[in-house]
């Protein structure tokens, strides 16, 4: 069954967005009477029947609605410094959504090499990712300063900061993460500064490591997503 995106599923009859209509009718050769799935990216999934098929306007009618399709009861919040190469952070967003993440915050750190990101482009990548993976939630995404994030985002039950330290023996993969809301901090290529680590620990973050290997920023982020998803299975 093909998956499509529309931001508003409040009306029983609506038209697919132009790019979605083109893909549905021209690329996939869908026609009137065919059934498709449509998500609003906020957890709802509609089963809809095509009423009028055209590459420029495709009208559909909702025949069934699931309010919380493929949603987890608990949330994983990945807070990560943007990489110098924009392609790598885009790859991370795509793969993280396919595996499962509820929120992504991009944090400007002392050693950050990139302080700006294209959130609109990442939103488009996120939409493509939920369609690819047959899920219904586009994670909220923001960019913020490190100190502001640490002092204002302390709602998760468990909070961790991953950084390279020879005296740090606690591994993220060994933590009890099942059925918990978790925030994981990943620093830039130059890692967090000692002051940033201290600030995190003062605000309830536990220092951990991500195994014995030194990982790229985006690899570390995806590793954290995979570990959390595996614990919820």
User: CA-CA distance, 141 to 160, in Å (whole number)?
Assistant: 19
Q: How far apart are the first and last CA of the chain?
A: 24
% of the chain exceeding 90 in pLDDT: 88
pLDDT band at 222 (very low <50, low <70, confident <90, very high): very high
Q: Is 166 a residue whose pLDDT tops 80?
A: no
pLDDT band at 133 (very low <50, low <70, confident <90, very high): very high
Contact between 157 and 183 under an 8 Å Cβ cutoff? The reply is no
pLDDT given at position 180: 96
What tokens does 29 get? 């050769």
pLDDT given at position 138: 97
pLDDT given at position 3: 92
Q: What is the mean pLDDT of the chain?
A: 95
Within the chain, all domains assigned CATH 3.40.1280.10 are found at 76-232
CATH number of 3-66: 2.40.240.20
Q: Is 131 a residue whose pLDDT tops 80?
A: yes
Within the chain, all domains assigned CATH 2.40.240.20 are found at 3-66
Of 40, 232, 213, 1, the residue nearest 16 (C-alpha): 40
CA torsion sign, 60 to 31 to 43 to 179? Answer: positive
pLDDT given at position 83: 95
Q: What is the pTM of this model?
A: 0.94
Of 221, 182, 183, the residue nearest 93 (C-alpha): 221
User: CA-CA distance, 9 to 17, in Å (whole number)?
Assistant: 12
Segment 51-97, tens digit of pLDDT: 999 999 999 999 999 999 999 999 999 999 999 999 999 999 999 99
CATH number of 76-232: 3.40.1280.10
């Amino acid at each position: 069954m093909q998956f499509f995106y529309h931001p508003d599923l409040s009306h029983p009859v609506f038209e697919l967005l132009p790019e979605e209509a083109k893909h549905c009718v021209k690329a996939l050769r869908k026609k009137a009477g065919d059934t498709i799935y449509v998500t609003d990216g906020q957890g709802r999934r509609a089963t809809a029947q095509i009423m009028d098929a055209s590459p420029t306007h495709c009208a559909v009618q909702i025949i069934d609605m699931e309010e919380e399709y493929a949603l987890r009861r608990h949330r994983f919040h990945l807070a990560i410094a943007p990489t110098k190469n924009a392609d790598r952070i885009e790859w991370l967003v795509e793969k993280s959504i396919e595996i499962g993440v509820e929120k992504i915050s991009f944090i400007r750190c002392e050693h950050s090499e990139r302080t700006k990101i294209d959130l609109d482009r990442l939103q488009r990548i996120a939409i493509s990712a939920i369609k690819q993976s047959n899920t219904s939630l586009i994670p909220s995404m923001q960019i913020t300063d490190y100190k502001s994030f640490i002092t204002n985002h302390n709602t998760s039950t468990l909070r961790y900061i991953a950084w390279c330290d020879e005296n740090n023996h606690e591994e993220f993969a060994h933590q009890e993460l099942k059925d918990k809301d978790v925030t994981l901090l990943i620093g830039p290529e130059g890692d967090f500064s000692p002051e940033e680590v201290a600030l995190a620990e003062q605000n309830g973050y536990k220092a951990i490591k991500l195994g014995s290997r030194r990982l790229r920023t985006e690899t570390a982020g995806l590793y954290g997503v995979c570990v959390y998803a595996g614990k919820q299975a």
